A and B are shown apart, each in its own frame.
Chain A
Amino acid sequence: MLTTDKKRLQKRHRAETRFRAYGVLSLMAAAGILFTLIYSIVSSGYTAFYRTTLLLDIKLDAERIAVTPPYSRNALMQGRYSSLVKSALYAQFPEVTDRRERRELSSLLSPGAELAVRDYLIDHPDSLGTTIALEVPMSSDFDQLYKEHLPRSGENIRFSEQQLQWFDRLLEEGRIEYGFNTQFLFGGDSRYPELAGIAGAVVGSFYALLVCFLLSFPLGIAAATYLEEFAPKTGLTRIIEANINNLAAVPSVIFGLLGLAIFLNVFGLPRSTPLVGGIVLSLMTLPTIIIATRASIRSVSPGIRQAGLAMGASPVQVVFHHVLPVAMPGTLTGTIIGLAQALGETAPLLMIGMVAFIANVPTTPLDPSAALPVQIFLWAESAERGFVEKTSAAIMVIMMFLIMMNLLAVIIRTRTQSKVE
């Protein structure tokens, strides 16, 4: 008796241990994949937050800039700064006189170098006529060389022997600085990797999500509340319910086409703007919010509704005073998940033209703009080596946003739930 029991028990224990091992293994596999993903993105992307600059002594000569008094902001904007920066660089290498060699030398500088001088002068108009020491951005290739992303030797070498010598000399003289890249965080997009910034895409995505939230949150709650609490249970409402669920499964590119056909072509809304992007995204978010809200309304205990009605509250009062507050945590969680999906959505934005190259950071939702996922798409298909790290860095930024939104969802859920319970 006891021995057969023991055998069966051992078998059951073994099965249990085996099952637990499977669980641990699959968790480890998932964690490993996640770690690999994050490691590969962070390791190739973190350098985008740094850049190399060249310290040059620049003589701010009004004549060479071609500005005349009064030195208004506008006049300074139109000045010519290119030769100023170049001569400052040539001054470091007096032995280089040949035109061809000088051109090679000047390719160490980014086209953004002259802009840096211009911006400095606009901020400090008094310094006109003096010589200043200014850090100007280096060109992307040499930035990548410094970060050791491009080889110094080999088959596809992009640098001449001389250029490498100049670079090493500048490095020895301590003229090459490596510092935090504020332009990446606060600037707009650019054709030049060393000048490209993510702010345009971040602000564009923010406006699009804002529009999306303002449209889909009230509409979603209103639709869900009506369907759950007020709509008569007829065949028509059942058809509507089924179609809302279907809508959540429609490929997003189709919503993009719809946006193109209706919002741009029929209503004539401005192309490439976060406004239209937000409207299109809200079409996608709406079913998610409706489904989440309906589920959380349905889970509100009927006792609360009865109590409200018995106290003489009207059905609308019952919904607004008692049902919706209890359903709010679930609704907000669903909304944030919907918005997080919308944040990562690329295809509908391509359809409405948010894929255009826009160098400015938008100030209103009506300005043409990029969006984060589209920016990743654009940079990922750029040929320059400098955009590789930018792509990874943009992915890091969008993941930060997603993590923040999910954290917000968790915080809201625990806060409101502890208030209710």
Chain B
Amino acid sequence: MDYVMTADSTDTNDNIIRQKRYSLGSKASVSRTDVKMTAEGVNVFYGAEQALDDININIHSKQITALIGPSGCGKSTFLRCLNRMNDVIDGCRVNGRITLDGEDIYAPSVDVVSIRSHIGMVFQKPNPFPKSIFENVVYGPKIHGLAQTQDEIEEIAISSLKKAGLFEEVKDRLHAPATGLSGGQQQRLCIARAISINPGVLLMDEPCSALDPIATARIEDLMWELKESITIIIVTHSMQQASRVSQQTGFFHMGVIAEVGTTEQIFQNPVDPRTRDYITGRFG
């Protein structure tokens, strides 16, 4: 079930800059044992209905893992298991084992708040808090006690906005309402907010599906920069996006994970016939 990506994949991407980044990025994860998160035998039920069936996947550190598949295949459900966002859904049960740095995040001793401070999330629709831009990025550090003085708070705000590539655009209106930003800016603000608490993992649930191509390109560039320090898992409907940004790809189909492998292998040489049909556009 489990495919570990090879460090020096052959370059097929015709974007030279991307190629460069790609090889740079993968050097950081040369070690094959560098697994950030694992899922072992994960089943999810909504009431009596089973949404996910025996999911096994290893998420490699400081890489981008793309989860693709047709609508309703369970990829978003799986993503939400990874930071226990399914906890709040009535009648949702998760069993199996999901670990972060070797620790079971569903263990009774683990507090869900601390998990979410290590695993950030960006949603499909940009959802900034209806407060100022500044308040959006300092909210996480404040509630987790990462900054005490006003200077520290400002420093975190500025560095998060810079990392998200938003600082130059908003530096003159940090205290303006975040809802006044454009959709792409709002989504980058949500990314800035998510990384403001230095999570090791960033979950992205179709982060570009509500954005235009230019805003999408900016987010993808940003993901390339972020993966130097953060493990990213992205759910996407766009196979082009998956092939552009990810190093590892998992293909979900009807609640099971049909195939996991390097992005190269999945897109060039899929093993599973369902993957092949989906990739070549025969369904989905």
Contacts and interface: CB of A to CB of B under 8 A. Distances in A.
- Report whether chain A binds chain B: yes
Interface of A: 233, 301, 303-304, 306-315, 317, 321-322, 325-326, 419-421
A322 B144 CA distance: 16
Between B121, B128, B194, the greatest number of chain A beta carbons within 10 A of the residue's beta carbon is seen for: B121
20 contacts: A301-B127, A304-B127, A304-B129, A307-B129, A309-B116, A310-B85, A310-B116, A310-B120, A310-B194, A311-B116, A311-B120, A312-B113, A312-B114, A312-B197, A313-B139, A317-B143, A321-B139, A322-B129, A326-B130, A421-B177
B140 A312 contact: yes
A421 B129 CA distance: 10
A278 B139 CA distance: 39
Contact of B127 (A233, A303, A312, A326): A303
A389 B36 CA distance: 82
A311 B193 contact: yes
Contacts of A233: 90
Nearest to B87: A309
A206 B5 CA distance: 73
B90 A311 contact: no
B113 A307 contact: no
B245 to A, nearest CB: 21
B179 A310 contact: no
B113 A314 contact: yes
A310 B115 CA distance: 9
B145 to A, nearest CB: 11
B76 interface: no
Contacts of B230: none
Interface of B: 83, 85, 88, 90, 113-117, 120-121, 123, 125, 127-130, 139-140, 143-144, 177, 179, 190, 193-194, 197
Contact of B128 (A307, A310, A317): A307
A325 B139 CA distance: 15
B127 A313 contact: no
Nearest to A307: B127
B94 to A, nearest CB: 16
B143 A313 contact: yes
A309 B112 CA distance: 10
Nearest to A326: B130
Nearest to B84: A309
A306 B123 contact: yes
The list of the 6 closest CB pairs from A to B, nearest first, reads A303-B127, A312-B116, A310-B121, A312-B117, A307-B127, A420-B130
Contact of A306 (B85, B114, B179): B85
A233 B91 CA distance: 11
A391 B115 CA distance: 66
Contacts of A307: 123, 127-129, 190, 193
B129 A308 contact: yes
Given A311-B140, A312-B116, A303 B125 contact: yes
A326 B193 CA distance: 19
Given A303-B123, A421-B177, A421-B179, A311 B139 contact: yes
B83 A310 contact: yes
Nearest to B90: A233
Between B85, B128, B139, B177, the greatest number of chain A beta carbons within 10 A of the residue's beta carbon is seen for: B139
A230 to B, nearest CB: 11
B230 to A, nearest CB: 15
A413 to B, nearest CB: 15
A326 B179 CA distance: 13
Contacts of B193: 307, 311
